[in-house]
Structure 1
Amino acid sequence: MTRPAIAFVASRTEEAQAALAQISAQYAQVPLAEADVIVALGGDGFMLRTLHRHLALKKPVYGMKLGTVGFLMNQFRMDGLSERLARAQSTVLKPLVMEAVGESGGTATSLAFNEVSLLRQTKQAAHIRVSLNGTVKIDELMCDGILVSTTAGSTAYNLSAHGPILPLGADVLALTPISPFRPRRWRGAILRAGTEVKLEVLDPYKRPVSATADSNEVRDVVEVTVRESRDTTVSLMFDPEHNLEDRILNEQFAY
């Protein structure tokens, strides 16, 4: 069996750094640009940072859990890594593209593999107009915020906000309000993945709102457009017995 060329990256925690020293001594490590696969040691937050940081390399990423949350990770084991990589199944993810316009008129563009969320910055509720593909669906949503989630991210913040769990590969997005006050009965929507979501902040000076794509925050936004990326993908690798599709399915039966 040909051994894959591996580049290891690790979070800054003491546990992850100790594991990095051990595992890189056991397996030959190559520079990131020469790797067949990137092995990330940490938690889900570190996995998201790894995907963003090394996206341009177009390398598959295999995570091993050495953090608090590990939904996107495999179990950490020192031995048998080459065999696990040979057996691993790939899951292709498409990120969201967030275009956020600030009060000054400048535009910031970011990618999100989990979700794009808008949140109020002060004690006052946010007032947001919601449009889909250029058509206004809600004139004024009064809420703490609103988010757009991918299928892979639907079990994260989206689920905590009582949004739906989306099957992996379903080609849909979740649009979920956060603590909505008006309209009282609206609890969100499931959208086709190709839908362009436009979120306009009403009265942004009195009721300021921030927008976050994964961990990249933009403050004092006046308008945010979200759509699925048409040309950017990333491959995550999972052990067959713990693949991401089954994990998302099992979340629907958790109690």
Structure 2
Amino acid sequence: MRLADIENSGNAIGLASRLDSSKAISVTKDLSSFLCEKKIKVAPESRIANILGMPGRSLHEMAADQVPAIACVGGDGTILRVAQKLPFKNPPAILGVNVGAVGFLAEFDVNTRDSFNQLLSTNLIEERCMRLSCHVDNQDYYPPALNEILVITSRPSKALSITIHVDKQVYSTGYLDGVIITTPTGSTAYSLSAGGAIMAPEVDAIQLVPVCPFVRTGFKPIVIPASSTIEIELLRPKLNAIVAVDGQNEYTINSATTKRITIRKSPSGISFLRTQASRASFFSRLNKKLLPGAKFPVPKYDQPEE
């Protein structure tokens, strides 16, 4: 795919931006003006549309048949927010424009007309990423997770007691603060900080990573096939749990009435637009941005996206 080809298709490029960053807003304005000059239709998200002085639309209205790509200007948190709100069926491919601190998902650093021109003419390929679905007792269904689903205690001083079942077989029972169920995409995020393994994007698998398990509990990180179904049984009825989806949404789970939290691969995935070079250089990106030799600026007053 070339973004320049969208001009001839009659479709639009979506625009989303972090709103609590003046730099992100400035880059979004410049990118919007540049695309309009090139006669390419722009479909800004509603919350940035007023700033751009353009009509907007909600993210869940941006299906790929009308908006084949959406540029997310911000950091990885911006991408997670946008991905969660795009249509469940046929979402557009995400082009991450990094103005954050790390930007492992938002890999493009474009903020000048020359870089916009180069991006417009570059042949981009889609990297398909799996997501996770989560529901409680086959009733409450939560948004799909691109990175991870976290099941954690609602009281930091009290450990959960849980049993984890994988495809109806007991994996382990014991005490811990929580458990992270992560995709390959999310394996470089919270899961990695909790002691999980890094999974290459091509790996079709799910990883379970315990958070602060009791020393004699048998919980260890484990990688299982993506076709697996994970069921988490809460064993302390007086201690509620919290389910957090990609760090964007939190849901309190009543342990006294809940039987199982079920997590499996979602039928809805997400695609990222990458250059051929970046698609082939996952390990280069890893070394540049995450591993011990990586150096990235940490703004003095850095805050999560609001």
Shared fold by TM > 0.5?
A: yes
Deviations 1:163-187 (A, max 9, x none): 1111212111111100010544532
Which residue does the alignment assign to 2:124?
88
TM-score (norm 2): 0.74
User: Structure 1, residues 36-70: CA drift from partner, whole Å, max 9, x if none?
Assistant: 32111011011011112223452111010012331
2:13–2:69 contact (8 Å) kept in structure 1: yes
Letter aligned with residue 88 of structure 1 = L
Partner of 1:55: 87
Q: Which runs of 5+ in 2 are unaligned?
A: 7-11, 44-61, 293-306
Picking from 50, 68, 74, the partner of 1:36 is 68
Select which of 57, 66, 71 maps to 2:104.
Answer: 71
| 2:162 is the counterpart of 1:150 | no
Q: Select between 105-114 and 193-202 the one with higher mean Cα deviation.
A: 105-114
**d(CA) in 2 for partners of 1:36, 1:178:** 38
The alpha-carbon deviation at position 106 of structure 1 amounts to 5.4
Cα distance between partner residues in 2 of 1:224 and 1:142: 17
CA contact (8 A) 1:91 1:244 kept: no
Query: The residue matched to 2:188 in structure 1 has which SS?
Result: coil
Q: Which amino acid aligns with 2:80?
A: L
Cα distance in structure 2, aligned partners of 1:147 and 1:248: 26
- From the superposition, tell whether residues 118 and 37 of structure 1 become closer, same or farther in structure 2 (CA, over 3 Å): same
Matched with 2:275 is: 239
- State the secondary structure of the residue aligned to 1:226: strand
The root-mean-square deviation of aligned C-alpha atoms, in Å, is 2.5
Matches within 5 A, 1:1-255: 2-4=4-6, 5-12=12-19, 13-28=21-36, 29-31=41-43, 32=62, 34-56=66-88, 58-77=91-110, 78=112, 79-81=114-116, 83-85=118-120, 86-101=122-137, 107-122=140-155, 123-138=157-172, 140-205=173-238, 207-214=239-246, 215-221=248-254, 222=258, 223-229=260-266, 231-243=267-279, 246-247=282-283, 250=286, 254-255=291-292
Q: Is the 8 A contact 1:120 1:210 kept in 2?
A: yes
Within 2, Cα distance between the matches of 1:244 and 1:232? 24
Question: Residue 115 of structure 1 aligns to which amino acid in structure 2?
Answer: E
Q: Which residue of the partner structure matches residue 50 of structure 2?
A: none
Q: Which has the higher contact order (CA 8 A, sep 6+)?
A: 1
Identity of aligned pairs, percent? 23
The amino acid that maps onto 2:186 is: G
What amino acid sits opposite 1:219 in the alignment? Answer: T
- TM-score, normalization by structure 1: 0.87
Give the SS at the match of 1:144: strand
The verdict on how the C-alpha distance between 1:106 and 1:171 changes in structure 2, with shifts beyond 3 A counting, is closer
**What 5-or-longer segments of structure 1 have no aligned partner?**
none
How far did residue 87 of structure 1 move? 2.0
**8 Å CA contact 1:155, 1:248 repeated in 2:** no
**Amino acid across the alignment from 2:119:** R
**Local SS of the residue matching 1:164:** coil
Report the alpha carbon displacement of residue 17 of structure 1 after superposing the two structures with TM. Answer: 1.0
